[in-house]
Amino acid sequence: MKKLLPTSSAGSLPKPSWLAEPETLWSPWKLQGSELVDGKHDALRISLHEQQTAGVDIVSDGEQTRQHFVTTFIEHLNGVDFENRKTVKIRDRYDASVPTVVGPVSRTKSVFVEDAKFLRQQTSQPIKWALPGPMTMIDTLYDDHYKSREKLAWEFAKILNQEAKELEAAGVDIIQFDEPAFNVFFDEVNDWGIACLERAIEGLKCETAVHICYGYGIKANTDWKKTLGTEWRQYEEVFPKLQKSNIDIISLECQNSHVPIELLELVRGKKIMVGAIDVATNTIETPEEVAKTLREALKYVDADKLYPCTNCGMAPLPRDIANGKLNALSKGAELVRNELLAANVA
């Protein structure tokens, strides 16, 4: 029988301090050349081990081989000039110096497939692999070629589809697209955002997920959250369309967020990765706190479709805190799993 309430993390996990500066986004590598290649693989092995020790059911690479969840993918593409940088506002929120699109974008070889094969060799557990979503990619660039957000997103969707098909062939069980931009640009999500996402998953036989969140626990994001009021209804804008899409799983944040949990009713029928771990605080949740969030979600998500998860990636957190949180996630999920089994709901 398939395990009830399988746990996973939303994406990135902290890197060892010998590989990159801890608790920093876009942290520069501390190694070079072949030492860096070996170091990334060693970090991936450690991250997998930490997930397994914490009892995580669906494991990932913890994004140990990437500097950033969007930029590292873009770095491998043609048509983007990383020397020629412009300052843009990311998700209408904070200024960042980003590369410029100077010509047609294309992928000459796979970006993460070797890393995925390496992870596949290390474990027989289900693997989830995260890729940036098309809309979030275009939001992290200055476009001096297509001059159309929609056109550029469509090109990225085609490239992501090539990568996703190779990841599937490498044995990845769930491919996840990170689309925090879906919580910001509602009109574009409706006009072409979901269509681009569907293009990115076209023809895939493995499971597919979209992760929509309120961002890492960095200051620009926590300041923005303060402006959103007491009820965060952003998900309400995109859920009806996602419910009709071909995406299998929706990953969202529920722990300590002001998202009205009943919005989950709008995506009834989909599998839901319920964020039950807050990544914007160093306080480690108790298993009971995790269980409480999961029980709330169970009012709107069928038990066989609920996947306990973290709100977002944990790269910016201290390593011991992130491990403590993964542990709390497993323990909290176990509490609710046992309740469900005892009640014979499963």
Measured in degrees and rounded to the nearest 5, phi and psi for residue 275 equal -70, 110
Neighbours of 240 (CB within 10 A): 11
Considering the complex, state which of residue 105 and residue 209 has its C-beta at the smaller distance from Zn ion.
209
Q: Min. distance of Cβ 22 from Zn ion in angstroms?
A: 19
C-alpha 272/C-alpha 303 separation (Å) is 10
Amino acid 238 reads V
Q: Min. distance of Cβ 293 from Zn ion in angstroms?
A: 16
Tokens 């269980």 belong to residue: 291
Tokens 């060799």 belong to residue: 121
Site map for Zn ion, 185-224, x if CB under 5 A? ----------------------------x-----------
Considering the complex, state which of residue 113 and residue 174 has its C-beta at the smaller distance from Zn ion.
174
β-sheet bridge partners, residue 250: 210, 272
Q: Min. distance of Cβ 67 from Zn ion in angstroms?
A: 17
Instruction: Assess 254 for contact with Zn ion (CB under 5 A).
Output: no
Per-residue burial over 164-197, b if 16 or more Cβ lie within 10 Å, else e, is bbbbbebbbbbbbbbbbbbbbbeebbeebbbbbb
Region at 203 (left for phi over 0; alpha for psi -120 to 50; beta for the rest): left
Considering the complex, state which of residue 166 and residue 278 has its C-beta at the smaller distance from Zn ion.
278
Q: Min. distance of Cβ 190 from Zn ion in angstroms?
A: 21
- How far, rounded to the nearest angstrom, does the alpha carbon of residue 268 sit from its chain's CA centroid? 21
Q: Min. distance of Cβ 18 from Zn ion in angstroms?
A: 26
Going by the DSSP 8-state scheme, the letter that residue 127 receives in this structure is B
Q: Min. distance of Cβ 42 from Zn ion in angstroms?
A: 26
Nearest Cα residue to 43 out of 22, 26, 24, 57: 22
**Would you mind telling me the total number of residues written for the chain in this entry?**
346
Considering the complex, state which of residue 101 and residue 290 has its C-beta at the smaller distance from Zn ion.
290
Considering the complex, state which of residue 154 and residue 214 has its C-beta at the smaller distance from Zn ion.
214
Considering the complex, state which of residue 213 and residue 291 has its C-beta at the smaller distance from Zn ion.
213
Do residues 224 and 213 lie in contact, with contact meaning Cβ atoms separated by under 8 Å?
no
Cα-Cα-Cα-Cα dihedral sign, residues 106, 82, 72, 148: negative
Going by the DSSP 8-state scheme, the letter that residue 95 receives in this structure is E
Considering the complex, state which of residue 100 and residue 311 has its C-beta at the smaller distance from Zn ion.
311
Q: Min. distance of Cβ 336 from Zn ion in angstroms?
A: 23
Number of residues engaging Zn ion in binding (CB under 5 A): 2
Site map for Zn ion, 287-316, x if CB under 5 A? -------------------------x----
Which residues ranging from 83 to 142 are in contact with Zn ion (CB under 5 A)?
none
C-alpha 16/C-alpha 35 separation (Å) is 14
Considering the complex, state which of residue 100 and residue 208 has its C-beta at the smaller distance from Zn ion.
208
Q: Min. distance of Cβ 39 from Zn ion in angstroms?
A: 25
Do residues 345 and 303 lie in contact, with contact meaning Cβ atoms separated by under 8 Å?
yes
Considering the complex, state which of residue 180 and residue 324 has its C-beta at the smaller distance from Zn ion.
180
Q: Min. distance of Cβ 110 from Zn ion in angstroms?
A: 24
What is the contact surface with Zn ion in residues (CB under 5 A)? Answer: 213, 312
